[in-house]
Each structure stands twice: as structure tokens, then as C-alpha cells.
Amino acid sequence: NAGVIQTPRHKVTGKGQEATLWCEPISGHSAVFWYRQTIVQGLEFLTYFRNQAPIDDSGMPKERFSAQMPNQSHSTLKIQSTQPQDSAVYLCASSSDWGYSAETLYFGSGTRLTVL
Amino acid sequence: GDSVTQKQGQVTLSEDDFLFINCTYSTTTYPTLFWYVQYPGQGPQLLLKVTTANNKGISRGFEATYDKGTTSFHLQKASVQESDSAVYFCALSRNMGYKLTFGTGTSLLVDP
């Protein structure tokens, strides 16, 4: 089990460019979560999917941010017209519905986005 | 909404010292509570999970205790090692399948 895989590990974009971040959840997990981590704000919830359906996107900035889960093996977070304040580590996590592991989030190593 | 408060931003100890990190929470129901640990360059990973059914969890020498009366949740370890240096987050889940709400984290530095 390779765990949650996030690519790329690092991404540098210029202000106004688009950034797409990829996440491959643990096989068999039904839920995928996206969080953003900064020194100032800590771990902020962005959005999550269950069985590929969007459930809660209450943490997503309403403009420029979007997330999709086209199949059970990957999810993407897209940021249009990136701004310096979008610089952060974006973390993806997955969880299972069953047994003791239910409710536990398994995180990837994150994508560090730097907007110049 | 749900909230989790960790007032200890940074803790510095020596090896074999006792560790105690406190966390308080606010939510509308009895949550499941978690401690996650994060090492540099990695995502947070589960250290302990405690439900309302058991009130206490033990893992890797760490013990977490959940007090519904004071809505607090603390993490302790009798004797820390340099390898325990990391950031520790408490978090809550309102119910199964729901998102986790995290505290701001406590950075632990253990001097050898």
C-alpha cells in the first residue's frame, strides 16, 4: 500500500497562472479530503468527496478554486489565476467507511505551491 | 461551528522529561477526538484516536484522555525522546465520515 500519493511535490507558478494539483487516494477508500496548510492559518479544510460525489465545499474560496473527482482513483484541485496568498502546502487525505479505520484520515505528503 | 483550541504553540523538553499537551474543543455533539503528528516534509499521521465509548487511547508510549465534562482532550507521555520532536495536532470529527477540524498544533522540540 503506497498510501495517498500527491503530485507534484513542489509547484512554482507566476501570479495569474493556473495550478492543478493531483491526488491518488488509497485504493478502496471512499472519501477524499483536501486541506490547505500555512503557518498563519494552520490546517484549513477545503472540500471533500464521498464515493466521488462532492459533499462539503464550505472551505473552498468561492472564486478561482475548484475540485473534482472524476473517478475513484484520483482527485484534482485547480486554482485559476493564482495569487501570492495561495502559496501553501495543499494536503490530500482519504478515509475508509469501515471498521476501526473509519473516520481516520490518511494524508499524503502534500504539494507545496509557491506563487511568485 | 466546530472548533479546537491548542494554546501551547511550542514546547521544549529534554530527553526523559514528561510531556503534557492540552486541547479543548467545542461542538454540538460528542465527537471522536484524534491526535495527529506531523514530521517535516510529511503530511499529518494518526497517533491516537479516542471515542466517547472508551475515553482513553494508548499508542507508541503516548496516552490520550478525553474529558467530556470539561470538553478537553490531552496528550501525555512519561518520557520523551529526541525522535518525538514533531508538531502535534488535536482534531475532532463530529460523526463518521465527516471532516476533521484541527487545532493549530504544538511544536515539540526534545533536546538530547
User: Is residue B79 pLDDT above 90, yes or no?
Assistant: yes
The answer to whether residue B78 neighbours chain A at the CB level (below 8 Å) is no
| Residue range A74-107, pLDDT digits in tens | 999 999 999 999 999 999 999 987 666 667 899 9
Residue of A97, A102, A107 with shortest CB distance to B43: A107
Contact A74, A67 (CB under 8 A): no
User: Is residue B90 pLDDT above 70, yes or no?
Assistant: yes
Instruction: Tell me the count of A-B CB pairs closer than 8 A.
Output: 50
Residue of A50, A103, A107 with shortest CB distance to B93: A103
User: Is residue A1 pLDDT above 90, yes or no?
Assistant: no
Q: Give the per-residue pLDDT at B4.
A: 93
The answer to whether residue B40 neighbours chain A at the CB level (below 8 Å) is no
- Which of B29, B48, B99 is the best residue to mutate to test the A interface, defined by the most A CB atoms within 10 Å of its own CB? B99
User: Which residues share a beta bridge with B38?
Assistant: B87
Q: Give the per-residue pLDDT at B94.
A: 81
Give chain A positions within 8 Å (CB) of B100.
Answer: 33, 45, 105
Distance from the first to the final alpha carbon of chain A: 36
Residues 6+ apart with CB under 8 A from B87: B37, B38, B105, B106, B107, B108
User: Is residue B43 pLDDT above 80, yes or no?
Assistant: yes
Q: How large a percentage of chain A has pLDDT more than 70?
A: 95
Give chain A positions within 8 Å (CB) of B102.
Answer: 42-43
Work out the average pLDDT over B94-103.
81
Separation in Å, CA of B104 to nearest CA in chain A: 5
Q: Give the per-residue pLDDT at B99.
A: 85
